[in-house]
Amino acid sequence: MNANTPNLAPINQIPNPYGHSLPSYLQADNLGPWGVYLQQVDRVIPYLGHLARWAETLKRPKRALIVDVPIELDNGTIAHFEGYRVQHNTSRGPGKGGVRFHQDVTLSEVMALSAWMSVKNAAVNVPYGGAKGGIRVDPKTLSRGELERMTRRYTSEIGIIIGPTKDIPAPDVNTNEQIMAWMMDTYSMNEGATATGVVTGKPIDLGGSLGRREATGRGVYTVGAEAAHHLGMDISKARVAVQGFGNVGGIAGKLFAQAGARIVAVQDHGGTIYREAGLDVPALLAHVATQGSVAGFAQAESIEPDTFWDVDCDILIPAALEQQITSKNAGRIKARMVIEGANGPTTPEADDILHERNILVLPDVIANAGGVTVSYFEWVQDFSSFFWTEDEINARLVRIMKEAFAGVWHVAQEKKVSLRTATFIVACTRMLRARELRGLYP
């Protein structure tokens, strides 16, 4: 914590009947993703009125499952991977959230991601709680057969807590439609009946929804355009820098470019590229599709990764991983607006620095909610076995995103708080109101 974070309440001072603070595995003794989430929750508690009585609910995941995922590799050896599924909250409906395959996945990270799903789902008012899953693995090191075996074994292991009315996984970092197809099939084989509604983000031929693949990026663009309007910023003249050029950053970049913006810099795990006149986004997307990274894209200059944060731009879109904008680089950012395509890309210290510098942050829990919103449409379509057109889906998505954004914008103005705190106020109030109405069992 530094001089820029004067308002943080102490995290670990919640009384319980035995005088203990939070269980050790929930304490924010470092600034990992869960610690960041706890700080964000502490900022909202003063605004929860009588519901603050229930606030500790927000600081404890309802259920966390750690599973061993053993598979036989192609060379005959046995490999064990660590898998997780965390259900943070189910007060408003079943758990919902993606599954991430990444070598840095930890329980702390999955807990934070599951909590951000609870907040996100409540913020856009879809009838879900929050959940998240992950496997600690670099999927690029696996063959297709190994990837399939690992996905199926993981699904079978978490099968005791997921289900179409219990907890519905979806894609996240390094997972895609094919992985959702394997998850759906594995769950269905174990159940003895095809259950399309157990996951979303499936291929269209298996009950997937039109528009799901583009939905997160479309939502990022939609709230970005709304906020630009409030700021008096002309998108068609804006310079945009994007970190991560996958399903979120790539689509958002494409939509901003279509609106006339110049995408001047893109960074991903492989490299950082820059072009003052604006990158040719369709050509860059084609390059990434074959090469797996923006690195080596001929029609751009390659720059040092750290200089990405100094790029002269109007809009910055972090759309990769957590904790990218920190107290170390927040003071260098030139943008007028940051749109969080990723989950948790900004630390609380960096949030304060950006706020002081009058840089508007559109927080993840509203900015990237387009994906789960269309996941909700997919789930509804699977249950009703009646499928909507892409125009219907996009129109409903845009309506929900605009309404949710207008709501949190209003709260932010009224209470003079950041958009993140405003979104947490709206979402946590919805969650805790449901908690209070349901009451404690027994």
| Residues taking part in catalysis | 132
Contacts of 308 (CB under 8 A, 6+ apart): 241, 243, 265, 267, 272
Hey, what's the torsion of the CAs at 69, 70, 71, 73, to 10 degrees? 120
Amino acid symbol at 130: G
Amino acid symbol at 149: R
Nearer to ligand GLU, 218 or 287 (CB): 218
Nearer to ligand GLU, 314 or 340 (CB): 340
Query: Cβ of 416: how many Cβ atoms within 10 Å?
Result: 8
C-beta of 183: minimal distance to ligand GLU in Å? 12
Q: Are 150 and 179 in contact (CB under 8 A)?
A: no
C-beta of 339: minimal distance to ligand GLU in Å? 14
β-bridge pairing 301-302 and 271-274 = antiparallel
Distance of alpha carbon 415 from the chain centroid: 25
C-beta of 168: minimal distance to ligand GLU in Å? 7
**Helix (H/G/I), strand (E/B), else coil: 169:** strand
**Both structure tokens of 362:** 């559109």
Q: Using CA atoms, how far apart are residues 306 and 326, in angstroms rounded to an integer?
A: 13
Q: Are 130 and 97 in contact (CB under 8 A)?
A: yes
Q: Are 38 and 390 in contact (CB under 8 A)?
A: no
Q: Using CA atoms, how far apart are residues 16 and 374, in angstroms rounded to an integer?
A: 40
Q: How far is CA 2 from CA 40, 231, 326, 328, 367, in A?
A: 16, 29, 12, 12, 27
Query: Cβ of 329: how many Cβ atoms within 10 Å?
Result: 15
Nearer to ligand GLU, 202 or 239 (CB): 202
Residue 278, class by beta-carbon neighbours within 10 Å (0-12 exposed, 13-18 middle, 19+ buried)?
Answer: middle
- The footprint of ligand GLU (CB under 6 A) covers 96-98, 170, 172, 200, 343, 368, 371-372, 375
C-beta of 368: minimal distance to ligand GLU in Å? 6
Nearer to ligand GLU, 124 or 354 (CB): 124
Nearer to ligand GLU, 224 or 262 (CB): 224
**Helix (H/G/I), strand (E/B), else coil: 102:** strand
C-beta of 256: minimal distance to ligand GLU in Å? 20
Q: Please identify the residue of the shown chain whose CB is closest to the bound ligand GLU.
A: 98
Nearer to ligand GLU, 167 or 351 (CB): 167
Q: Using CA atoms, how far apart are residues 212 and 200, in angstroms rounded to an integer?
A: 9
Strands (DSSP E) contained in 340-405 are: 360-362
Nearer to ligand GLU, 124 or 422 (CB): 124
User: 390 forms bridges with which residues in the sheet?
Assistant: none
C-beta of 208: minimal distance to ligand GLU in Å? 12
C-beta of 45: minimal distance to ligand GLU in Å? 24
C-beta of 77: minimal distance to ligand GLU in Å? 31
User: 317 forms bridges with which residues in the sheet?
Assistant: 242
Contacts of 129 (CB under 8 A, 6+ apart): 62, 87, 88, 89, 90, 91, 92, 93, 94, 95, 96, 117, 118, 121, 431
Nearer to ligand GLU, 124 or 235 (CB): 124
